[in-house]
Structure 1
Amino acid sequence: MTLIGPSLMCADMGILRETVTKLDQAGVDFFHLDVMDGSFVPNFTMGPDMIKNVRPYTNKPFDVHLMVQNPEKHLDTFIEAGADMISVHTEATEHLQRTLQKIRNKGLKAGVALNPATPIDELKYVLDVVDYITVMTVNPGFAGQKFIPLMYKKISDLKHLLEKERYNIAIQVDGNIGYQTIPGVLENGASMLVCGTSSLFKPEITFEEAVIKLKSFITSQEKEKFKKD
């Protein structure tokens, strides 16, 4: 089953509570919250207070993507803010295994995020403490970027690695995930879609209409994939 999660960095921050409520009612599966420190990536976004502020407006999982240096220093802060899942970048911490294990020890799902140029080999010796892997299909930091075509192969290579090593780990994709790119990422093994301006945040339609349209499209793609398999 393919899960969809709106990227809240694409939302209007002035009506964030209302947006979360509407997306929840529309039937999204989780919420993706990007945290940027202006150092690991050249931008600043959500902090723990903002996450805590919208936490009461949905029971759906909060997937906190820490695009920050030394994320291990900030785990407790975001867990207290309401995170259910936390992903960290391989390049951002010297002790990746310890950081992932700490996330799991706190009762959360632990994720690893890979920048476009980061090789999947860096994951081989932490797969036993990983619940999901986020493949960045654009360079992180800003919304509205173009999908990097080689990421289809990266997703496929990652899927083959997980099957070879016999790990049941979800592959999440993040960056320009829309109607043109969804068929390819699903075909190559992704099962969690972070959706922003390319699919969910459309001014011409309501959130309910956007979610219904997107889910219908995903279902049709899953059926096509099943036929091929």
Structure 2
Amino acid sequence: MKHDNFYQSLKAPRGGASSGIRRRVPVSIATYLSPSLACCPLERLEAHVRELEELGTDMLHVDIMDGDFVANYCLGTEFVPLLHRITRLPLDIHLMVQRPEQKINYFDIGPRDYMVVHAESTPHVQKALAAIHARGARAGLALNPATPLEACRWVLDDVDLLLIMTINPGFAGQRLVAQTLEKLHSARAMLDAAGSAALLEVDGNVSFENAEKMSRCGADVFVAGTSSLYAKGASLAQNYEKLRQAIAAGKGRTV
């Protein structure tokens, strides 16, 4: 298929950096795992967060859904201060809500945190991003699979993170939308061409197999959920290490 051929064109020969690996765009050195707490055992949240800290996780992904922008409800405003009491890890707060600029002040956010709004959720994207920055947090913009990259081009100076959705948001367990790998690759090229320091995040079916592909396409931040970190049949630590290895393989490194 067309999109399979696209990914094959990015694949590097095995053997490490000295074997002549060629890439179309620069690849980020730093990578970050952002476990999705919507997938974790909430009845033992604090113990689970401690385990993630011990594994060396970089941030915690918090999905907020209003039942309107997406056809599901998930977590809420009180979950954020609860996490701040439990951990000093940065929060990666993904707002899947209509008119987020009207709701940002309900959240306890600070300089360590990212708050991400959807380009499709408001006609006033810059207003929403400015509201996040006014609270002292870092602002991100998310794009659904069918939303063109052009939607973020004129706000790149206002974003600290660009999130490419590789499934349609609302429910875990969906299959990857294959075209989004090419979109992710194009997003990396766009950020690099603009000289942007924004992180490039990917969310949706970040499986062990897909994580390597997403890494090769230039992603920096990987939202880990039911298809990798919380996959059944192995421990959290085993899944965490396997995911790190997959991401490193996409960068042409070993860990």
Aligned residues: 225
Q: Which of 90, 97, 105 is the matching residue for 1:76? A: 105
Question: Which amino acid in 1 is paired with 2:237?
Answer: E
Which one-letter code corresponds to 2:144 in the other structure?
N
**Closer, same or farther: CA 178–48 of 1 in aligned 2, 3 Å:** same
Q: Unmatched 5+ residue regions in structure 1?
A: none
Residue 60 of structure 1 pairs with residue 80 of structure 2: no
What is the TM-score when the length of structure 1 is the normalising length? 0.92
Matches of 1:76 and 1:121, distance apart in 2: 28
Q: After superposition, give the CA deviation of every residue in 1:61-114 in whole Å (9 maximum; x if it has no partner).
A: 001100000111111221359971100001111211121122123221100000
> Which residue, out of 94, 119, 142, partners 2:148?
119
Q: 1:146 aligns with which of 175, 192, 199?
A: 175
What is the letter of the counterpart of residue 178 of structure 2? P
> In the alignment, which residue of structure 1 is the partner of 2:252?
223
1:49 and 1:81 in contact (8 A); partners too: no
Q: What letter is aligned with 1:55? A: H
Bigger mean CA offset, 162-171 vs 88-97:
162-171
Would the alpha carbon gap of residues 224 and 17 (structure 1) be closer, same or farther in structure 2, given more than 3 Å must change? closer
Structure 1 81/103 Cα, relative in aligned 2: closer, same or farther at 3 Å? closer
For residues 155-188 of structure 1, the C-alpha deviation after alignment (integer angstroms, 9 at most, x for no partner) is 1111122222221221100000011101211111
Tell me how far apart the structure 2 counterparts of residues 125 and 81 of structure 1 sit (CA, whole Å): 25
Write the distance in 1 (CA, Å) between the matches of 2:113 and 2:215: 24
Describe how 1:135-174 pairs up with structure 2 within 5 A: 135-174=164-203
> Aligned AA for 2:61?
H
Which residue of structure 2 aligns with residue 193 of structure 1? 222
Q: Which of the residues 177, 187, 208 maps onto 2:206?
A: 177
Q: Contact conserved, 2:212 with 2:246, CA < 8 A, in 1?
A: no
Task: In structure 2, give the amino acid aligned to 1:186.
Answer: S
- Return 5+ residue gaps in structure 2 as ranges: 1-29
Asked if the contact 2:116/2:141 (under 8 Å) is kept, the reply is: yes
Q: CA deviation at 1:60?
A: 1.0
Quick one: which of 162, 168, 185 aligns to 1:133?
162
Partner of 2:239: 210
How far 1:16 sits from its partner (Å)? 1.9
CA distance 1:19–1:82, change in 2 (3 Å): farther
Return the match for 1:101 from 130, 152, 157.
130
Q: What is the CA-CA distance between 1:198 and the residue it aligns to?
A: 1.1
Q: 2:119 aligned to 90, 103, 124, which one?
A: 90
| Cα distance in 1 between the residues matched to 2:70 and 2:207 | 23
Q: Mark the structure with the bigger radius of gyration.
A: 2
Note the C-alpha offset of 1:43: 0.2
The one-letter code of the counterpart of 1:77 is Y
Q: 1:7, CA displacement in angstroms?
A: 0.6
Alpha-carbon distance in 1 for matches of 2:244, 2:94: 23
Alpha-carbon separation, structure 2, partners of 1:141 and 1:41: 5
- Alpha-carbon contact 1:52-1:82 (below 8 Å) kept: no
* TM-score, scaled relative to structure 2: 0.83
